[in-house]
Amino acid sequence: MKFDDDLDAMGLLCPLPVLKARKRLKSLEKGQILRLQATDPAAVIDVPHFCAEQGHTLLAQNKAGDSTHYFIRKG
């Protein structure tokens, strides 16, 4: 999947991946896509909840080895 920006949050624990994603999304234009890479097991719950609460769209989440890649379209 194509994306406009990439955020490496590997090794960071809750709530840091979501907090860093929120900050990075602020710099993107509406409709642009952020790829968030995270290893935090809680991110599988936190990221979809964050997207729903903030009006963003979680387009996909893909397991990639020890990490999960989240593709978030800014709302």
For each of the domains in the chain, give its residue range(s) and CATH number, in order of start. 5-73 (3.30.110.40)
pLDDT value at residue 73: 98
Give this prediction's pTM: 0.96
pLDDT value at residue 3: 98
What is the block-wise mean pLDDT of the chain (75 residues), using blocks of 10 residues?
97 97 98 98 97 98 96 98
Active site residues: 14
pLDDT value at residue 22: 98
- Which residue is associated with the tokens 């989240």? 70
pLDDT value at residue 36: 98
pLDDT value at residue 50: 98
Angle between helices 43-54 and 16-26 (to 10 degrees): 30
